[in-house]
Every structure is written in C-alpha cells, then in structure tokens.
Amino acid sequence: MANTRANLLVRTALLRTLWLPVPWGVVVAAAAEPEPTTTTGTAALPACGTGNICFTADDTEYRRNRVLLHNIVIYQGGSVLRIEAHSAEASSLDFTDSSWTLEGAVQVRTPQGQLAADRATVRFAASRLGSALATGAPASFEQQPAAVDDNGRAAHGHAQSIDYDPQAGEVRLSGEAYLTDGCNETSSERIVYEFAQQRVRAQGAGGARVQGTIRPQCRPLHPATGTPGGAP
C-alpha cells in the first residue's frame, strides 16, 4: 500500500512540471531524484543551463497543431529573460522557431526592460527571443536598471500596444502612448524609444500633435541607487 501511494505521488509531481528537450539541451526531468532549483526573481525554478531555454507549467493540452499551457513560466539559463502568463498557446514546443500567444497577467522580462500586459504575442527564433508584441488597457514598459547609464534616465511608459524589437534595440509604443524618464514626459500616438542612445522619437496622428513636458531643474533618480542622476 505504501509503495502504491509513493508511486502515485511521483506521477502527480511529474504531471505538475513539464520538461521537454530543446536544441540547446534542456534536461528532461527524472523521477528518481528531484532536479536542483535556482531562484529567478522571487520564484524558485528548476535549474536551467546557461544558454538553454526552459519552461514549467501546471498542465499542457494538445489540439491539432497547437499546444495549450496554463500558468507558464519561460526562462533562459544565465539570462534575466523570463516570461510569465496565466495561459499560453504555442505553435510548437520548439524554441528554434515558434510563436506563443500569452494571456492573463503577462510579464516579459528582458535584459533591456520589462513588459506587463493583458495579452502578448512572443516569437522565438534560433533559440532566442525574436520579438514581443504586448497589448492591454494599457500595456506598460519599464527599462531595466542595468540598461541605464550614469545619467539615471530609466524610461518607463504605457500604450495600447508595445512592440519590443531586440534586434533593432528599441520599443515602439502605439495608441495613447506615454513615456517618461522621471523628469521629461512625452505623449503622442506613437513613440519609439532606443535603448542604447536613450533616444525618443514621437509622432502624432489624425491631427493630434505630440505633447511634452520638460523640467529643467529636475534630476531623475537613478533606479539602481535611488540617488539623483545627471542633469536632464
């Protein structure tokens, strides 16, 4: 009786965590002994080798050529990349070329910044995050402290949709877009923010003009230290 109960607990635990191999060598979970865990953010996740893309979910369901997953976390070993959502629909469980539709409390954390949205479409190519399009009422973006230089201008904003393009090194905010560095503010129909240059390009639409506020005496707080950065 004891052996039967133990086997049932092992099978239940395996069903709660999904591990599948990907081209970069994700380790398949074994029933003999638990995998070591690593901490990313505030949640403990199974270890993921550097460069690997791993994920865990409550359950998975296959429908024709689609895969449905619930309470999913996607993360990459040796990177801050982490994607969370209440539900996900994937074209393929293959990070070399796949598209994922995420819904419910979506969080996309990248080396450049973090997106929060009701819904997002994420594309993986060559085992890397190729793009992320977040939509919400509104969706929001916040630049990572590590991506901010000594002047302390960490951008954050919101819009109806936010398109993150890691190849171009920018985010594109569309629909009632707003962006600020803590001192200077820009509002327009469309805003493009370039990470490396910390440059903002804004464009109005339908007769609406770009609006901005510049506070000459303001020195934005550096997000990493909480102390004033350089002059705006």
Per-residue pLDDT at 121: 97
Q: What are the tens digits of pLDDT across the range 176-192?
A: 999 998 889 999 999 99
Lowest mean pLDDT among 13-17, 171-175, 179-183: 13-17
Residue 34 belongs to a domain? no
Structural domains counted in the chain: 1
CA distance 186 to 188: 7
3-state secondary structure of 127: coil
Residue 219 belongs to a domain? no
Residue 208 belongs to a domain? yes
| Residues of the chain above pLDDT 70, percent | 72
The answer on pLDDT for 19 being more than 60 is no
Distances (CA, A) of 116 to 41, 83, 95, 192: 15, 10, 22, 17
pLDDT class of 2 with cuts at 50, 70, 90: very low
pTM here is 0.74
Give residue 220's identity as a one-letter amino acid code: P
Q: Which residues are bridge partners to 132 per DSSP?
A: 122, 164
Per-residue pLDDT at 205: 86
Q: Are 139 and 162 in contact (CB under 8 A)?
A: yes
Residue 223 belongs to a domain? no
The answer on pLDDT for 28 being more than 60 is no
The answer on pLDDT for 75 being more than 70 is yes
Helix residue ranges per DSSP H, the chain = 2-16
Residue 92 belongs to a domain? yes
Per-residue pLDDT at 70: 96
Give residue 173's identity as a one-letter amino acid code: L
Instruction: Identify the domain containing residue 138 by its residue range.
Output: 2-27+47-213
Q: Are 43 and 73 in contact (CB under 8 A)?
A: yes
Average pLDDT over residues 110-139: 95
The answer on pLDDT for 32 being more than 60 is no
Per-chain mean pLDDT for the chain = 79
| 159 or 29: which leads in pLDDT | 159
Residue 133 belongs to a domain? yes
Nearest CA-CA partner of 155 in 188, 213, 114, 116? 114
The answer on pLDDT for 69 being more than 90 is yes
Average pLDDT over residues 115-123: 97
Per-residue pLDDT at 146: 63
pLDDT class of 91 with cuts at 50, 70, 90: confident
Report the alpha-carbon angle 173-169-182, nearest 5. Answer: 55
Lowest mean pLDDT among 12-21, 150-159, 217-226: 12-21
| CATH value at residue 119 | 2.60.450.10
| Residues of the chain above pLDDT 90, percent | 55
